[in-house]
């Protein structure tokens, strides 16, 4: 695949100061690169992702778009959405982006997460953030986890093959380090097991007694954190997880983010972002991942239009 490599040249004498330079918000300059992390059962090279890429380029001409992949083989990338250790997957992406010939030279990037890709991108921000994310937008993410596992589609042999193990042995070490959805399972009626055995979500949500200050500081670097939930969501249970709200399926009690200890004690920097107008809650029509061209174009123009003043050279490379 042939791509145009954008070689970002430093306007300052000191290249190390790039991340601290103010970014231009005018129409001059180059759009920040855009990172896309797809959801469960999807793959980076699927036609739908290519269409999103084209829309992003149309909304902000000159945007370099990079779909996250855990393998260059699309089938393997798809399998990794269901089977794998999420901590290792995030670490892999961190190394991939830090060494990428385009992304590693950018002063900042934007990030778009679909479904579980939303909380995985947030983990990237918290744990490495190199290159740093300016605006993070998530659609139908499970930021506060899921209390029910998604039903398998007919004919999905991979999903059906693991479904029984997933539901019956959620807190075993094998399931927590092997089956991806289990690693963001969170039932408010079973927080004791969750806090003790969760391989991924309990950590990136900073819910355990010992807090990770780096997670908070990296989240505070976001210029915007935009969270979309779908009005007719049935796939993600509870749908309010996309806003970090707590919802107890037994009592049907919903506790909004602002009323949770996670917010009040600012375990993730969300209150800090909210107080500065950087935390955005959005609801959109349709079921899970109902994404219209208009919705995406509006999102791209509103949150990903920032440009940075750099010198741009184009060189053809085989990647």
- According to the model, what pLDDT value does residue 308 have? 79
Whose structure tokens read 């107890």?
248
Indicate whether 165 pLDDT > 90.
no
In this structure, what token pair is assigned to residue 231? 């009005």
pTM across the whole model: 0.87
Which residues is 146 bridged to in the sheet? 185
User: What phi and psi values does residue 42 have, to the nearest 5 degrees?
Assistant: -100, 175
pLDDT reported for residue 154: 67
Give the end-to-end CA distance of the chain in Å, rounded to a whole number.
6
Which residues does 185 contact at the CB level (< 8 Å), separation at least 6? 145, 146, 147, 149, 170, 194, 198, 201
**Which pLDDT does position 24 carry in this prediction?**
41
What's the pLDDT tens digit per position in 275-297? 999 999 999 999 999 999 999 99
Summarised one tens digit per residue, pLDDT across range 115-163 is 999 999 999 999 999 999 999 999 999 999 999 987 666 666 666 666 7
Query: Cβ contacts of residue 220 below 8 Å, gap of 6+?
Result: 269, 272, 273
**Domain architecture of the chain: domains with CATH:** 2-12+24-318 (3.40.50.1820)
Cα 74 to chain center, whole Å?
Answer: 19
Identify the sign of the CA torsion 81, 266, 206, 261. Answer: negative
Longest dimension (CA), the chain: 60
Task: Spell out the residues 6+ positions from residue 68 whose beta carbon is closer than 8 angstroms to its own.
Answer: 35, 36, 37, 38, 44, 93, 96, 117, 120, 121
Is the predicted pLDDT of residue 317 greater than 60, yes or no?
A: no
Residue 167 confidence class, pLDDT cut points 50, 70, 90: confident
pLDDT at 193 over 60: yes
Q: Residue 181: how many CB atoms within 10 A of its CB?
A: 22
Whose tokens are 């969270």? That residue is 227
């Amino acid at each position: 695949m042939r791509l145009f490599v954008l070689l970002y040249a430093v306007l300052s004498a000191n290249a190390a100061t790039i991340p601290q330079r103010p970014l231009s918000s005018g129409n001059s300059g180059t759009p920040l690169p855009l990172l896309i992390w797809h959801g469960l059962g999807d793959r980076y090279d699927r036609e739908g992702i290519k269409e999103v890429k084209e829309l992003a380029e149309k909304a902000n001409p000159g945007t370099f778009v990079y779909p996250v992949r855990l393998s260059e083989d699309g089938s393997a990338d798809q399998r990794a959405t269901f089977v794998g250790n999420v901590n290792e997957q995030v670490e892999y992406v961190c190394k991939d982006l830090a060494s990428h010939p385009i992304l590693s030279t950018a002063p900042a990037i934007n990030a778009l997460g679909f479904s579980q890709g939303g909380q995985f991108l947030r983990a990237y921000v918290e744990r490495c953030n190199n290159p740093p994310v300016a605006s993070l937008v998530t659609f139908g993410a499970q930021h506060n986890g899921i209390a029910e596992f998604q039903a398998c589609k007919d004919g999905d042999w991979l999903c059906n093959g693991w479904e029984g193990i997933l539901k019956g042995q959620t807190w075993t070490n094998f399931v927590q380090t092997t089956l991806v959805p289990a690693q963001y399972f969170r039932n408010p009626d079973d927080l004791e097991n969750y806090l003790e055995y969760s391989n991924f979500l309990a950590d990136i949500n900073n819910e355990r007694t010992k807090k990770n200050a780096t997670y908070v500081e990296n989240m505070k670097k976001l210029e915007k954190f935009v969270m979309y939930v779908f009005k007719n969501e049935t796939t993600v249970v509870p749908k309010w997880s996309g806003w970090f709200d707590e919802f107890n399926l037994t009592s049907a009690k919903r506790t909004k983010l602002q009323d949770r200890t996670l917010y009040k004690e600012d375990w993730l920097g969300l209150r800090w972002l909210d107080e500065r107008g950087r935390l955005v809650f959005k609801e959109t029509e349709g079921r899970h991942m109902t994404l219209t061209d208009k919705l995406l174009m509006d999102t791209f123009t509103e949150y990903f239009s920032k440009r940075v003043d750099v010198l741009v050279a184009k060189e053809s490379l085989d990647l």
